[in-house]
Chains A and B, each alone.
Chain A
Amino acid sequence: MIQLDHITWKTGDRVILADVTIAIPSNTYAVLMGSTGCGKTTLLEILCGLRSPTSGRVLLDNVDVTDLEPRERGIGYVPQDLALFPGLRVREQIGFAPKLRGVPPEELNLRVNRLAEQFGIVPLLDRLPDMLSGGEKQRVALARALAAQPKLLLLDEPLSALDESMRAEAVTLLQRVQSEHSLTVLHVTHSSSEAAALGHLHLRMAGGRLEVGW
């Protein structure tokens, strides 16, 4: 379960997040909507530890992780631009987290191949990010995040760069990934149709406050 406990974030005199309190149960696909610049990305960054809140606490499964480093939180993060590592092949991108954790080479290969099969990117394993389409990059970024075996996945407008036909396919993929990996997902989007198709829980951010419902 994710709990945000009275989270506030200010920059100068400007309040971006004002006393945000919410609980997202485990295995829930939560969708967060809101206008551009309302603080959705800031909220994701606070959750995964890339930004410290001005005040308040972040709890994961009732453990206070507010002061923990991003690497200690077990959270997967897929930013809007997908942020694939330049110069690393798809195989190395997916194997990045397991390799860091000292997973033996045989098991590493197994894990990379299993994820590549699941995401339909086996033929792309030896390609560099520059040689991938938007949809392929999105699959690689998801596989890379899941290779770290996170309990929680944060997605920041992951489908915004895809065209309409690919978006429908990606929605199905995300639903499958969430159920197969028993993940808690917080997905930021501007698309109402995407939110309707994916969300078990709908959140809306406005004026720095977070509300449940459309």
Chain B
Amino acid sequence: MTFNRSNLCWLALGLITASYLLFWAFLLGATATYSTPDSWLKVLMSPEIRHATWLSLVTCSLAAGFALLLAVPVGYLMSRREFRGKSWLDAALDIPIILPPLVVGLCLLIFFQTKIGKVIEMAIPFTYQLSGVVLAQFVVAAAFAIRTMRGTFQHLSARPEDVALTLGCTRFQALWHVALPAARRGMVAAFCIAWARSLGEFGPILVFAGATRMKTEVLPTTVWLELSVGNLEAAVAVSLFMVALAVLVLVAVRATGEKV
């Protein structure tokens, strides 16, 4: 192969990509070699961290489930219907993505101090409660799930749904019988992305649900709590466990064929 200018260009781009990946490999490698697998296991088996792990798995699954329930109708509306002010609504749906996480938590905290918020809390208490953890995770995760579902429906032709309408379906039946079965890979991807996003959520949870051990402590809170008392070994073990979970989610999303 002769090296012309075009090849040199590709080589340079390849080197930039490789450097970035190498940087990440060094970061994770350095973290992984900070302590031994024995000490990771010891940390992960402690009652507090087992509780935080269990709580993370449950709350992330609930938040991702709720996010998907919201994302399917919103994503379908945004991909299939043209209406006045759609671009504004589109931008508004992305607000949780661009808001600083602590601000999201603060907004939740302040909302539940209002009259409407207090009425809601009479039925379901959220502030500094486990349900607050799920809500804080849901608020941000839903925005990502909506993005994914909107992309999924945009890639699916609306024609089969049109035909279903002529065959006797209402719009809701066309969504249920035709669009949803066709969008099932996208739904799995949206759930996984929402789940992964919820797993990494820290700021809103800390502000809105607190960081009470064995009550509202989830894995990112554990990392923060362990760091704050100088227990770097425990923080590293939990971080690596979260990295492993994130990789699993990424593999699951890739297996659906959807792009994140």
Q: Which chain A residues have a beta carbon within 8 Å of chain B's beta carbons? A: 45, 48-50, 69-71, 73, 75-79, 81, 83-88, 96-97, 100-101, 144-145, 148
- Which residues B156-205 have CB closer than 8 A to chain A? 156-157, 159-160, 162-170, 173, 177-178, 181-182, 184
B157 and A81 within 8 A (CB) = yes
Complex: how many Å from CA A88 to CA B164?
13
Instruction: Tell whether, in the assembled complex, residue A71 and residue B157 are in contact, meaning their CB atoms are under 8 Å apart.
Output: no
Within 8 A of A (CB), among B45-87: none
CB distance B170 to A71 under 8 Å?
yes
Partner of B164, one of A45, A75, A96, A101: A96
Contacts of B164 in A (CB 8 A): 85, 96
B contact patch SS = helix
Residues of chain A lying within 8 A (CB to CB) of residue B156: 86
Q: Give the CA-CA distance A143 to B66 in the complex, in Å.
A: 39
Query: Can you list 27 contacts pairing A with B, beta carbon distance less than 8 Å?
Result: A69-B165, A69-B170, A70-B165, A70-B166, A71-B166, A71-B169, A73-B166, A77-B162, A77-B166, A79-B163, A83-B159, A83-B160, A85-B160, A85-B164, A85-B178, A85-B181, A86-B156, A86-B181, A87-B181, A88-B181, A96-B167, A100-B167, A100-B168, A101-B168, A144-B167, A145-B167, A148-B166
Query: How far is A29 from B169 in the complex, measured between Cα atoms in Å?
Result: 27
Instruction: Name the distance in Å between B4's Cβ and chain A's nearest Cβ.
Output: 41
- Chain B residues with CB under 8 Å of A144's CB are 163, 167
Chain A residues positioned under 8 Å from B160 (CB to CB): 83-86
CB-CB nearest 3 A-B residue pairs: A83-B159, A97-B167, A70-B165
Which bracket fits the contact residues of B? 10 to 19
Q: Evaluate contact between A83 and B167: CB separation under 8 angstroms.
A: no
Q: What distance in Å separates the Cβ of A148 from its nearest Cβ neighbour in chain B? A: 5
Contact with A along B132-174 (1 / 0, CB 8 A): 0000000000000000000000001101101111111110010
* Neighbouring A residues of B184 by C-beta, 8 Å: 87
Query: CB within 8 A of A71: which of B159, B168, B177, B182?
Result: B168
* Residues in A whose Cβ lies below 8 Å from that of B159: 79, 81, 83
A79 partner residues in chain B, CB cutoff 8 A: 159, 162-163
A91 to chain B, nearest CB (A): 15
- Do A50 and B181 touch across chains, with their CB atoms under 8 A apart? no
Q: Is the CB of B168 within 8 A of A148?
A: yes
Q: Given the complex of chains A and B, what is the CA–CA distance between A182 and B165 in angstroms? A: 23
**Contact (A100, B169) CB under 8 Å given A81-B157, A88-B181:** yes
Q: Complex Cα distance A69/B160, Å?
A: 16
Please report the C-alpha to C-alpha distance between residue A88 and residue B177 in the assembled complex, in whole angstroms: 10
**Residue of A whose beta carbon sits closest to that of B184:** A87
Contacts of A87 in B (CB 8 A): 181-182, 184
Residues on B with C-beta less than 8 A from A75 are 166
